[in-house]
Structure formats: C-alpha cells, structure tokens
Structure 1
Amino acid sequence: MTEQKKPTYIYTYAYSKEERSLCHLEMRSFFGKATDDNIIKSNIKIDASRSPFIRERIEVMYEGAALQELIDQVKDIKMGDQTFKVIFSKINDRKAPETIEYQERRDIERAIGWVIEGEADVHQPDHIFGMAIVGERWYFGHYLKSEAVWLQHTKKPREYSTALSTRVARAVSNIAVPDPEGINAIDPCCGIGTVLVEALSMGIDMDGRDINPLVVDGSRENIEHFGLKGKVTLGPISEVTDNYDVAVIDMPYNLYTHATPEDQLSILKHARRFAKKVVVITIETMDDMVKEAGFTIIDRCETQKGYFTREILVCE
C-alpha cells in the first residue's frame, strides 16, 4: 500500500518592520521556521484568517520547474458549469532582477486560464485558483484569501488603554496555541479579555480569570458582544485548581494593578503549578524570574506599542 502524499500549502505574508519579530515568532509556532521572504511552503494546514499577517493560502494541486509544466498539468481541470479565476500572487521569494512584475503576472494568469476547461469570471467566480513561485519551483492550486477577522474586534464595549492591540493579541493566541485540537488554555490575568476574544474566535478553548471584579465584568461583556462563549472567573491566580496545557500571562502593569516583583514571581510560580507551557508578555526583562519560577525560555520576540517595548516569552 503506497503512503498518501501530504498536501502542500503556500502561505504569503505581509507585516510592518515593527511587527517582524512578532510575525516571525508566530511563523515558528505554526511551521517550525520563519523567513524574511514573506512566503512559506509547508505541509501544515492553517486557516489563513487565523493570523493577522497571512495574506493568502494556496493548497497545491500541481507544481513544476517551469510555467510550461504547470500549463501541461492544468489542462486536466474541467470546471463543468462552475466559473473560475486565476490569481498569480505578487508575493514570492524572487529578488531583482528576477522579479515578476504586474503585466507579466497578468500574462501568466491568462496563459493558465486559457487551458482550463470552463468559463473564466474575474469578478464573481465560483472558484479561485492561485499560483506562486517558491525557490525555483512553480505552484498552482486552490486559493484562499485571508479575512481580517480581528479587525471586527478592535472596537469593544469595554476598553483598556494598556490592553494589547487586537493584532498582537491574535498573534499571541496563535503562539500559545498553534493547533487548538485537544488543548485547554487559560489567561489568568485576562483584564478586559483582549486575548480571550481572539482565542475564542479561533476556536481555542481558553478560560479567563482576573482578580479585579470590574475587568472581569468587562471581559464577560466583550466576549458576549462578539457572540462568543467563554468562562471568566473572578479570583487570584493562586486559586486556579485545574490543570492546563498552556497559560497566557500579560503581566499586570497599569497605574492601579502594577505587580511588584514579588507579585510577578508569585504569578509565575502558580503558573508553573498548573500549566505545562506559558507565554509571558512583559514590559520588563524578567528572564531570571522566569528561570527562578522553574521555566525555560524556548523562544521569544519583541513588539512595540507607542514608546515602550513588550517582550513575549515562550516558556516550558
């Protein structure tokens, strides 16, 4: 019996210079590797709309060393009464002078579309095919454009000036739980639930908890506002009795809830007790404290908001 070949996926990325470190940590969490080329080929299937940085996903049907090889294979496609469109991704890892510019991409789309048996429709096609170049190879397959789901969460009924942005919160959720299947997570200092909303909207099983009754109410309201379901408990981290696969801890640091070093160490020690893996978000360097709590930092990145930098530490 021959082993079935795993499907291949091409992902294209877009991010700002300030987001590079965060995006690369999310890439490593998803795929075990990162690249500055803004395009990744992997056997791992990710919903393109999960990441705030992924732009497109192509599920590969055909590949070849040259365009003609693709044309020869694509001839087999019969669309029946369905319409189609072909998109050649403008993102690839070719550097000047090897880059493929706009007009050449349109010509290639037409050359491929011409040999597909069916009716092309550039405005409202029933199916979209995508093309991309990675390395020296050409790829063709089912195309999926990412939807910026997180954008819908930027305006919440309850807001907090020091809360993470929705983009960062979404990336942090992915870094903490790249594959939600069978994973239970907790945000034990959840504030108004920025991470919770992103996690729950992606099907991640995450509980919330906070010591502040006002923000617990705010967190519940925010979750309900977006039609999500999640449990948010009032109480200190010391009262967590369940075990979790992963915890996300955005260290409290605003005017009213700034945690002292003793508080921070206590939070980390409690997290060690009930979670196998912890993603810590901090505006202060706390490598020594993380080690003292019994964790090892296995990966990290930085992200900026205004004038200060946050560190994101992946600890096991």
Structure 2
Amino acid sequence: MISAVFNSSPWISPKPRAMKYIYLTARSEPERALIEAELLSFAGVRPDEKGVGISEVKTDISNAAYVKVGAEILAEAPDLDGLEAEVASKGIEAEGFAIRVERLTENLKLRSTEIAARLADAIRGRPNLSDPKVKLLAVLTDDRAYLGRIFSEYTKGWLRLSKKPYTTSSSLPHRLARLMINLSGVRPPAKLVDPCCGAGTILLEGADMGYEVTGYDINYKMCQASRKNLSYFGLKGEVIQADARFIEGEFDLLVTDLPYGRNMAADERLYDELISNFVNLSPVAVIVTARDISELFIKHGYRSVDVLPSPKSWFTRYIHVARL
C-alpha cells in the first residue's frame, strides 16, 4: 500500500488563508429579499437576519442602495472579551484611528463608547476621533465579534437626487432605482439605457453612479423634464424623444419602469411589443412592472429571469432581472 501525506512534505507551502470581509446592510423586513439580492450581486453572499454578510470578495459598495459598509476583517472572536484579547495578541497597529461600533445584540449591556474604548486600548496607536486617518468597524452579534478596517461606505446619493425639481406621481423612488441598477451586476462605466425614462429617475441615479446614460420617452414633456433634472445636478446624459418599441442601439444594461394602467390586456400587448425590442438593445435588463411578466422575457429569448417583489403601501411592484 502506498500512502502520501502531502501537507507534511517540506517543499509544499501551506495555502495562504483568504482574506475575509464583513458587509453590513440596512434592515427592513418588507425589503429583505431586495437587500439580500443587492449584497449577493456585490459580494456573492446573502446577509443574515442581523444584516451581516461575510465574504472573500472585496468590492466597492459606495453606490449601494442598502449595503452600508464594507470592512477587511482584522480580528474576530466569539465575544467582546475574546476580540479584545485577539486584537492585543495580533499586535494590530493603527495611527490616528476611530472605531465605529455596530452592536447587533441585546446580550451586551455596554454602551458603544465603552466598547470602542476597550478595543482602542488593545490597539497599538493613538486614536483621532475628529479627523481619523484609519476608520475601523467593530461588529458585535449574539455569537460573534469582529474588528475590521473600513474600505468602502455607501454615499446615499439617492437622497440628494430625490430632490429633483421635476417629478411625477408615478416616479420610482430613487433608492429603488439605484437598487435596480445594482442588481444587474453590470458596473460603471457601462452604457445604460432607460427606454421609458419619464422624468429621469433611473438616468439620474445611473449618471451619478458613473454610467454613460441614454434615455428615451415618447412624451416630449417627459424628455424635457429628464434633461432639466440632469442639468440641475450637473450630470451628463442623452435624452431622445422616441417610441421604445422601435428604438435601436447597443447598450450594456437596460433599466426601466414600464408604464402600466388599468387595462391589463392593453398592458400585456404593450409589454410584449416592448420586450421584443428590448432583447435587441442589451444582454441584461432590469425591469419593474405592476405584476410578474417573466414569461414574456422567456418568450423573447432571455435565458434567465429572477423576479423580486417590492412591496408598496397599496400594491406590489415586481423587479425582473433578465439575462440573455
């Protein structure tokens, strides 16, 4: 019998441990599926019920809608006492640091300032709370404690853009528009088209995030509103008056809010005509409607369609993420 113990061979180096990163998301039970999908699109993991996701993927989440912060994990332990000891034993150094504490447990009675002070005492270096050079993140859950170095935080750009001067009663919420763009997995600087742009909510979000945006609308007044909104924020984008059923072009990503009314049969015919053209415009489409129309995407050649419900006070929107 021949046996071999490869990990004991002196010429074989041990595999280096992969870095781990912690991400924190907003928490909202009605929007939980959307939040999970966004972190999955960024870091390949879903957050737990506390909004914590651990990944081996480091990615910029500054454009996120619901992923709040990402940090490189420096130390972890079962609890605060263990984390404090681990930080000290590793000799973690940071000069001019500040610690942001996220206490996601009811089991720990200490205040956030007390937690930060204990961890600060274990770090080699001086803190600087007014102008930190290094931002650290302490996360404490029921059964785990982490200390990480923050590398990315979301900018909440949708808050500024939601104050656009021209809007309509049916305009998408800006945060939802940003989320839809992120669910595509297509990152800037890609070419984004909104073939039913209305007052330009999706165009504004896309341009602010760094995409090259183009919008179409059959209504001249809506085209003007989109142009004025882009100009108001100093953002660039092209807006063209045209019927979305007949536009042409090549784009990396299509994101839109399809029009809907009270006549379901009329809507169905319109959606069928629109999607039959959308498939020619982009390999990835993220489209929100008032009902699930995934069968139309499959009918016109999309290979996969994920459908995510987005509850509103009096009805539910359905976000379709379709890929060729």
Provide Cα deviations, 1:127-167, integer angstroms capped at 9, x if missing partner. Answer: 32112257965432323553322111111111010011011
Q: Distance in 1 between matches of 2:18 and 2:168?
A: 44
On the 8 A contact 1:252/1:259 being kept in 2, the answer is: no
Q: Distance in 2 between matches of 1:300 and 1:156?
A: 29
Higher strand share: 1
Provide Cα deviations, 1:42-68, integer angstroms capped at 9, x if missing partner. Answer: 233343432222233222334456311
Q: 1:164 to 1:124 in 2, by over 3 A?
A: same
Structure 1 counterpart of 2:177, from 166, 169, 174: 169
Give me the TM-score of the superposition, normalised by structure 1: 0.84
Q: Distance in 2 between matches of 1:192 and 1:5?
A: 49
Q: Secondary structure at the match of 1:24?
A: helix
Q: Which moved more, 1:43-52 or 1:264-273?
A: 43-52
Q: Distance in 2 between matches of 1:160 and 1:7?
A: 46
Structure 2 counterpart of 1:148, from 144, 156, 166: 156
Q: Which moved more, 1:133-142 or 1:210-219?
A: 133-142
Structure 1 counterpart of 2:93, from 77, 99, 107: 77
Higher CA-based Rg: 2
CA shift, 1:291, in A, is: 2.3
Q: Distance in 1 between matches of 2:92 and 2:38?
A: 37
Partner of 2:217: 210
| 1:282 and 2:296 aligned | no
Q: Distance in 1 between matches of 2:213 and 2:56?
A: 26
Q: Distance in 2 between matches of 1:109 and 1:273?
A: 54
CA shift, 1:312, in A, is: 0.4
Q: Distance in 1 between matches of 2:136 and 2:36?
A: 27
Provide Cα deviations, 1:24-79, integer angstroms capped at 9, x if missing partner. Answer: 22222223332333011223334343222223322233445631122222x34152
Q: 1:185 to 1:116 in 2, by over 3 A?
A: same
Q: 1:269 to 1:116 in 2, by over 3 A?
A: same
On the 8 A contact 2:230/2:237 being kept in 1, the answer is: yes
**Superposed counterparts of 1:76-115, under 5 Å:** 76-79=92-95, 83-91=96-104, 99-103=107-111, 105-115=112-122
On the 8 A contact 1:180/1:205 being kept in 2, the answer is: no
Q: 1:183 to 1:140 in 2, by over 3 A?
A: same
Partner of 2:33: 21
Counterpart residue type for residue 168 of structure 2: Y
Q: 1:54 to 1:182 in 2, by over 3 A?
A: closer
Q: Distance in 2 between matches of 1:205 and 1:7?
A: 33
Percentage identity across paired residues of the two chains: 26
- Number of residues paired by the alignment? 303
Q: Distance in 1 between matches of 2:15 and 2:228?
A: 49
CA-based RMSD of the aligned residues comes to 2.8
Higher relative contact order (CA 8 A, sep 6+): 1
Q: 1:59 to 1:250 in 2, by over 3 A?
A: same
| 1:265 and 2:278 aligned | no
Q: Distance in 2 between matches of 1:120 and 1:250?
A: 47
On the 8 A contact 2:261/2:267 being kept in 1, the answer is: no
Provide Cα deviations, 1:248-285, integer angstroms capped at 9, x if missing partner. Answer: 13111258xx9632221110000112211111210023
Q: Distance in 2 between matches of 1:159 and 1:60?
A: 42
Partner of 1:229: 236
Q: 1:278 to 1:117 in 2, by over 3 A?
A: same
Gaps of 5+ in 2: 1-12
| 1:51 and 2:71 aligned | no
Q: 1:147 to 1:275 in 2, by over 3 A?
A: closer
Q: Distance in 2 between matches of 1:154 and 1:199?
A: 13
Partner of 2:168: 160
Counterpart residue type for residue 68 of structure 2: R
Give me the TM-score of the superposition, normalised by structure 2: 0.82
| 1:122 and 2:129 aligned | yes
Partner of 1:192: 199
On the 8 A contact 2:286/2:319 being kept in 1, the answer is: yes
